[in-house]
Amino acid sequence: MTDVAASPGNSNVASATPDTMSWDSRARRVMMIYLPLSCFVLILLFPFYWMAITSFKPNAELLNFKDHNPFWITSPTLAHIKHLLFNTAYPTWLWTTMIVAVCSTFLSLFASTLAAYAIERLRFRGSPYVGLGIYLAYLVPPSILFIPLATVIVQFGLFDSPMALILVYPTFLVPFCTWLMMGYFKAVPKELEECARIDGASRWQAMLYIVIPVAVPGILSAGIFAFTLSWNEFIYALTFVSSSEVKTVPVGVITELVEGDVYHWGSLMAGALLGTLPVAILYSFFVEHYVASLTGAVKE
């Protein structure tokens, strides 16, 4: 049996086995990881690629797929972007959208942080039902709420102004942020706050100097979601704003660049592409805190 094990044929089989196993593991890795990820990235980034090439395509290429490749640009042009920036109020729309998104996000984070802390830390009678009620308020469709909210906005004299959107957006941002931060405050160890209370800190000081700094990833995550939701909101912005100068980007692009049955596709895609840049920049700056909040960075 020793001679058989030491024979040259068996040694060749033994030396070939690791290579075969290595090839099988690489093929399995490609099929199970890289191929699905490649398909996912392709599907995810293709709309942005389509918006980019449409923004720089002349109308002759946009409307004639027989003579021009729909997935490539033969003669790029800046006419669509020039029309968007100089013939429409797009810069004003962008500035208005930024102000509304930032103000409504900060207002919602302030209210939702206090609400989530009170529900999870104070534990008063009925606090679980309050948290459930706040979450159920987020599930109410905006198409039902915009009619009574319009009456309130008109009575306060805020119709057709950015302040109307700043005050209305927290109606769906606060429930969402509160529900999101309740789960994160629950993950913060209570021992940290109890130690601060033993050392003489008040409830307010323990929240400001102990709980809030630890919960920064969760607050940033809620802020990113709130900023994205307020940036892309359409129904309330369409209902409460009518003047071209104070429209937001989602409403202005749709209402000002579609004239009857004429669609300015190049300018539409350019406006949509430029409108995604602030959100993409925001995600790039806070991606580490965002991932930390999703993976549960707080440990006991």
DSSP class per residue in 153-170: HHHTT-TTSHHHHHHHTH
- Predicted confidence band of residue 105 (pLDDT cuts 50, 70, 90): very high
Q: What is the pLDDT of residue 101?
A: 94
User: How many residues belong to the chain?
Assistant: 300
- Quick one: CA dihedral 73, 76, 78, 80, positive or negative? negative
The amino acid that residue 282 corresponds to is L
Q: What was the pLDDT predicted at 4?
A: 46
pLDDT band for position 295 (cuts 50, 70, 90):
low
Is the C-alpha dihedral spanning 268, 270, 273, 277 positive or negative?
Answer: negative
Indicate the pLDDT class of residue 190, thresholds 50, 70 and 90: confident
Lowest-confidence region among 121-135, 148-162, 202-216: 121-135
The answer to whether the beta carbons of residues 133 and 115 sit under 8 Å apart is no
Separation between Cα atoms, residue 253 and residue 239, nearest integer Å: 15
Closest CA relative to residue 108, chosen from 180, 165, 173? 173
Which is more confident, 17 or 64?
64
**Contact (Cβ atoms closer than 8 angstroms) between residue 114 and residue 204:** no
pLDDT by residue (tens digit) across 5-62? 444 545 454 454 555 556 667 777 777 888 888 898 889 889 889 999 999 988 888 8
Mean pLDDT within 229-253: 90
CA distance 279 to 231: 8
Q: Indicate the DSSP class of residue 68.
A: S
66 membership: H or E segment, kind and range = none
Q: How far apart (Å, rounded) are the C-alpha atoms in residues 204 and 242?
A: 43
Q: Angle 201-202-206 (CA atoms, 0-180°, nearest 5)?
A: 70
Inter-axis angle of helices 265-285 and 79-86, nearest 10:
80
For residue 6, what pLDDT is reported?
Answer: 47
